[in-house]
Amino acid sequence: MEFIGGKLLQVVIALAVFAAIIGLIMLVVDKAPKSARDRLTVIGFLAPAAILMLVGLVYPAFRTSFLAFTDANGQVNGVENFVWMFTQPEALVTLRNTVVWTVLVPLLSTSFGLAYAVFIDKARGEKVLKALVFMPMAISFVGAGIIWKLVYDYRGPSIEQTGVLNFLRVALGFDPKQFLLDAPENTIFLIVVMVWIQTGFAMVILSAAIKGVPTELIEASRLDGANPWEQFRNVTVPGIRGALVVVLTTITIATLKVFDIVRTMTAGNFDTSVVANEMYTQAFRAGEPGRGAALALVLFLLVLPIVVYNARVLRQQREIR
């Protein structure tokens, strides 16, 4: 109770200091000349956000970058953590799995979402059909992992199966399968969960983009003799290119950072670990914060080019408009 009370007192004091700083800024703004007042107003509004970014984002980034070059005792060890990452078998499996996730999840999710959006466009019951596919997005990754762990559940060859897939396998005369234990296909079964979640996101964004394609272009292509596939390839896809880039890059970033599904379903065992999970394992389970920081730094470097590319594409689209 004393600990909670002390923490609560610190929060109250911090809020009081923050309010006092804002009040002081506003008082100075009110008495300053007009030009200086405008600058101080901007500073007053941006200062809280800038402080929070420095404390919650910039400082941790620098701290993590430093830790990436230290050992378990906090001593600088050069690039040994990165050498471990690219030479040890377990680390190489983690990197391989991350690459497989990053390639398959965006491509499959976007393809399924785009196909579904095209096929149900203007169909009867479109809203209900979209809601059914989008529903997994409302489930947390942990919840989805638990659901699919039950779907993949294995009880042994002589025991009644409770997992959906193994129940069907036994009903069809096959032996039950340990979906989450047998490598390397167990990684594919984990990827299915992510695709199941992200397909709804892709479908919603791409469906809205398809409806924004001018009907005049589609009608003109039809009059020119284009069949449905040619209309889709030459009219629809170029018209939704921006949305496709956003969907692909967003899902790619989410996939690179995937942690909950792997942690919930296998905890990274049986050769299923990915960079984000291994980062947590090394930093908080194995007592190697330096290796965890090195993995975090590599993860950041992998995400950064995707973010930059996405920003460039969006800026080019704004310039065209």
Say if domain 80-320 classifies as CATH 1.10.3720.10. Answer: yes
Name the residue among 182, 196, 184, 193 with its Cα closest to residue 99. Answer: 184
Whether pLDDT at 92 is above 80: yes
pLDDT of 8 reads 60
Q: CB under 8 Å to 161, separation ≥6 — which residues?
A: 153, 154, 155, 167, 169, 170, 176
Q: Per residue in 246-281, pLDDT tens?
A: 899 999 999 988 999 999 999 988 999 999 999 988
**Predicted local distance difference test score (pLDDT) of residue 159:** 81
Listed in sequence order, the residues at least 6 apart from 270 whose beta carbon sits closer than 8 Å to its beta carbon are 180, 181, 182, 183, 186
- 28 has pLDDT over 70: no
Helix (H) or strand (E) holding 95: helix 89-119
* Residue owning tokens 């050992």: 71
Model confidence band, residue 74 (pLDDT cutoffs 50, 70, 90): confident
Q: Are 198 and 105 in contact (CB under 8 A)?
A: yes
Q: What is the pTM of this model?
A: 0.81
Residue 240: pLDDT band with limits 50, 70, 90: confident
